[in-house]
Amino acid sequence: MNVENGESAWAVDLFGAGQVGLVRERLGQALVDMQANARAAQKEGDVDTNHPYGGTRWPGSYTQVARQFEDVEGAVVFKPNGFPFKLVHVGRGLLYPFRFSTEDDPVHSAKLPSVGPFMRELFTFAPRPSQTSIFDEDPEFGPGPVEVRPQLAALPEGTQLVLVPYACNPHGLLKPYWGVGSLVDGQGMLEWVTTPEPLPLAATSTRRKLSAVPSQASALKHASFDSGAQPVPQMFVRPDAEEGRKIPPMTEPDPIEPLVHEDDEN
């Protein structure tokens, strides 16, 4: 492996001697931040499955890489029409992070999680494998030539896809690497053109933590049916004439006999 000033020749060729170290560091920081965010989501989710972690990790890897390169001179962060994530083009490199395992597996056996239209377009910027590939006019592999979207097709000539495979799970970020590889088949098998190299990991994350929730104004209490003032019963005094004649108070009026009953014929 040719090395210049501690950096591999392929990396210096793609990113330049003055920028290659920065690119490596920013990639490592992005993955540390992705893992921190995903673990925080899992903790806050307080559930028995790893869905909060996975739902944050997958888009988080692309989001954090994009954030790390927003202020890097010469880097372009863009989202091709129809792509589910942002891409970063820096130097002559097109960066693509992906998780290859949840365990401590060797990176040389890394495979892409899936191979769809997006992946086939990205790998048009990768070297052709020594074996028959999915880009050949071979019915066994199909689909043959790939039509690349305008924003990808507009990338400078000489752009090279740089793979950033990593292994992680809710307990930790295990192995992040980078290197150049070819796509061999529709199952995601890779053929490494360069030896995958470990990426440096930052000691701490720079993830954007949630700010404290401001105190909320107490809502007005809705009046309950018994919260109002109690009514004062009115006391009616018997007339003096009735009391003088010692007429007993009438607590219930005598029933009134109707003049006509419902069963009368007339």
Judge whether 154 lies within some domain. yes
pLDDT of residue 124: 95
Q: What is the pLDDT of residue 71?
A: 94
Whole-number mean pLDDT of the chain? 81
Q: Per-residue pLDDT tens for 77-107?
A: 999 998 888 999 999 999 999 999 999 899 9
Q: Which residues partner with 183 through β-bridges?
A: 190
* Confidence grade of residue 231 (pLDDT, cut at 50, 70, 90): low
Q: Has residue 229 been placed in a domain?
A: no
81 part of a folded domain: yes
Domain housing 64? 3-198
Residues 6+ apart with CB under 8 A from 111: 100, 187, 188, 189, 190
In angstroms, rounded to a whole number, what is the distance separating the alpha carbons of residues 98 and 122? 13
Domain for residue 134, yes or no?
yes
Percent of the chain whose pLDDT exceeds 90: 51
Structural domain includes residue 186: yes
Whether 96 is in a domain gets the answer yes
Q: d(Cα 151, Cα 81) in Å, to the nearest integer?
A: 8
For residue 103, being part of any structural domain is answered with yes
pLDDT per residue over 239-265, tens digit each? Answer: 666 666 666 666 555 555 554 444 444
Q: What secondary structure does DSSP assign to 48-61, as a single string?
A: SSSHHHHHHHHHHH
Tell me whether residue 180 is exposed, middle or buried, using C-beta atoms within 10 angstroms of its C-beta: 0 to 12, 13 to 18, 19 or more: buried
Tally the domains of the chain.
1
Q: What tokens does 223 get?
A: 């009046």
Is 22 within the bounds of a domain?
A: yes
